[in-house]
Structure 1
C-alpha cells in the first residue's frame, strides 16, 4: 500500500508546479470542484462521501487521499465511508452487468452482418 501522507505531500508539490505552468487549468478545476459548495442541500460530509465513491470508481489515488482527509474533517466516520464505498462497488458491478448487454448487442449485430454478407 501507499504511504498516503507522503504521497499527498508529493502530489501537492507537483500540483503547485502544474499551477505555475498552467494556472488556468488549476483555476478551472477549482471552479468545477467548488460548484454548488455554498448550498446546504447535501452538506460537506455527503459531498465528500460521494467524492470518495467516485474516486474509487475512477481509480484516482490523488482523489482518494484528498477526499479522505476532507471527509474526516467533515465528520465522516469509518463506517460511513465504508458504506459509501459499498455503493461504489455496487455501481461498478451494476455498470459491468448493464454494459455486458452491449456486448451481446454487438455480437448480434456482427453475426447478423456476417450472415447477410456471406449469403
Structure 2
C-alpha cells in the first residue's frame, strides 16, 4: 500500500476547514499556537519543522508527516536532512518509527514532483 501524501494533506485540509466553521475558536487557537511555536527564535523555523516531523514519525501520524514535509519543502529542506531526521526518529522510536520514517521519505519525494 502506497500513501499519497499530497492527496492526504488536501483531504485533511478540507475537513480542518469544516472544523474552522464549526469550532472557530478552537481552530483559531490551535493555529495561533502553531504559528507561535514554529516562529523563528533561538531555534530557527526550519529546525522546528524538522523536530515536528520527527515527532510525527514517532507518533505514527500520517497527516503530521504530510503537512510537515510540505512545510519543509517550502523552507528548502533537502532529502538528506529529512533522512537524518528519520534516522533519529528510528533510533528513538524503533521498528514502528522505521515504517513511518520510510513514509516520510516517500512523502518528501511525492511533494518534490511538480503539480500537473
TM-score, L = length of structure 1: 0.71
Please give the root-mean-square deviation of Cα atoms over the aligned residues, in Å.
1.4
After the TM superposition, list the runs of 4 or more consecutive aligned residues in structure 1 that deviate by more than 6 angstroms: none
Structure 2 regions of 5+ residues with no counterpart?
Answer: 95-116
User: Could you report, residue by residue, the CA deviation over 1:22-50 in whole angstroms, capped at 9, with x for unpaired residues?
Assistant: 11221121122122444332212111111
Are 1:27 and 2:32 counterparts?
no
1:49 corresponds to: 50
**Structure whose CA Rg is larger:** 1
Aligned length: 93
Partners of 1:47 and 1:14 in 2: CA distance: 25
Deviations 1:70-93 (A, max 9, x none): 111111100001101111111124
Asked which structure has the greater RCO (Cα within 8 Å, sep 6+), the reply is 2
Q: 1:83: which partner in 2?
A: 84
Gaps of 5+ in 1: 94-119
Superposition TM-score, scaled by structure 2 size: 0.73
Q: 1:6 to 1:53 in 2, by over 3 A?
A: same
